[in-house]
Structure 1
Amino acid sequence: MIATKIGKKSGVPDNYTRLGEYIAAAEEKGEKLHQFWIRNCDAGTNIEDLGLAILEIEAVRRQKPDIADKTYHLVVSFRPGDQDKLSKDDLMVIEAEYAKALGYEDHQRVAGTHINTNNFHMHIAFNKVHPETLKVVTPHRDFKILAKVSREMEKKYGLAIDPGMTDGQKRDPNKLSPAARDYEAHTWQESFQRHVLKHREEILEGLGKAKNWQEAHEVLARYDISLKLRGNGLVLMSPDGQAMKASQLDRSCGKNKLEERFGVYEALPDKQPRKELHHAKAKRRYKLRPLVPHRNTATLWRRYLNRRKVMPRQPSLTARTMRNWKMFLLMEATQDPLAMALIMAHREMLRTLQVTTIAHISSRQLGPGLIQIQ
């Protein structure tokens, strides 16, 4: 079991009604509702009571008009086969255990399980406003709480163990960050982070031999990477402004670890042109390339790059489209069957690259009447 809080998207209003209806409808393509229930609402506990229950929940939430985020959306993803081991009563017990641990035992909520092939998962929408005290509850360090409950429920019901981030498991160094996954989903172009991870062993070997900050900068420059301060840490940055935490490459590349070796961080000297360092010496440059290789890609890819070169840098729809391989293919598909073939190839390949149900769900925007799916 993997339990993940789906955070509120910046700029998207908190819309509990929309989320509750989404859980009840299971409206994603290929999904269907499995079980559904409501807790702590006088309106009732079943799906036919949803309309009145939402009115009841919204009435409580209106008592806190100054609070922008009043919803805690939890998604629990199960392993294939777990569905057959769990009855509705079992699922309700699991939901209740998460609620109790998070401090939402007496809070109103809507819950339901969805089935999509092997992606069996549970949505729980908690109203963070207590129906009687009107206190707004926001759990602290909830990832530890969620991991603890998940391990307990796995043992109780004999489910496969999914080690959480608090269980001391070795972090997968090749896992892309949400930002990199979003970039690839929106552009179908290889992200900077994927470029870095492809050369991970070479980079780490070079950094291991570096004796000072200057040599570390030179090692990274061979791969078109800048090392810069950001906040309290270090980031690896591409020529086009994409960035990843240095510690995502390896724990030994974190700011504290590198400063133990080289002393206080030193930026590149101003007298040394960054352009010269990153292009004249780069042996593994980060450049535009399609995420999914295909035997028919070359012709359209050359056309795409050529159009980018002549496209004026202005904030028009056409200009933005020419800087996005995915949008370029979608526009070309109306005239070129080859573009449609590539679209189908990309979509099929990207389906196999989906790492978890959570990655898919976290890429959605839940807002008033809108669900955005990559």
Structure 2
Amino acid sequence: MTTLFDRYRLGELTLPNRVVMAPMTRVRAAPGGLATPSMATYYAQRATAGLIVSEGVQPSLVGQSNPGTPGLYTDAQVASWRPVTDAVHTNGGRIFAQLMHGGRVSHPETTGTQPVGPSAVAAEGDVFTPTGPKPAPVPRALATGEVPEHARSYADAARHAVDAGFDGVELHGANGYLIAQFLSSNANLRTDRYGGPIGNRIRFAVEAVAATVDAVGGPRTGIRLSPGAGFWGVRESEVPELYGALLAELAPLGLAYVHVEATTDEEILVGLRRAWPGTFVVNPVLPMGPRQTDRAAADHWLALGADLISFGRAYLANPDLVERLRQGLPIAAHDEATWYTGGDAGYLTYPTYQHPA
């Protein structure tokens, strides 16, 4: 029987356990999208995870969604990440960079430019800006000839990630950001080869992944998906057919993994597990929902065929989460008020478990 603490071969990496630290935005980057020494400490503290997936990293300036997030599109950004990846590796860990193009989930106050998207349809809700939350603006619809350069931006950032010492990259195709916007049936109203029927709506995702595989190789490339999630007002029709078609197109590319969030019926997710021939990572709970992933949820999905289990919020206050899970120790509570406040409080200040004297 598979357990959370079994070793696992992922591409060229041997993971000491099947625990993945999920990507979580922490908005602690320095001006210019630079990684910081505190970020090196934060990730190194959590290096006992089988695999760490970093916070979302923008592949271009126009791809930046939130203020205070790091990038991987300038030489200075690449240099700033090297101490982070070195710290993780020194502590025995492995780390992928999550490449996140926000698309329409952005604001001119954050990037200095109008957000872009598949169509001129605004996201639902307020987006973060340097001066506080503001209504999402209407994005500029990308011309057909512009779309490939945004697909290639993931590949360019992946090259920078490998140069910065990351073991691989995860394309953020979930939660209503650019890839998910192209998959959508209401954010994507295009009538060219990138819109309309399922075969067209998956094209951008496939092109972005294929370009990244060409750049750094399949074993260094993963993708995160959130079937049917509805974040930022993104809606998807024919969810099983849409994601079944996407996985069929991605399967020949030899990816490191597909990372799926539990945003639709379990039956649909199990069907996707059966359809995917490679490593299948599951985040078993709804992102930002009332529950966080625990040992029972992890064991449930391992029994259903998942290879690896990602933990998000549980990692905020538990840098030693693997040992807490292994020994059945209490999981410490996190302080939501410090998620996005900057500084080291609620970032580097959570201790490992202290056994009673």
TM above 0.5, one fold? no
Give TM-score scaled by structure 1 length: 0.26
Larger CA Rg, structure 1 vs 2: 1
Give TM-score scaled by structure 2 length: 0.27
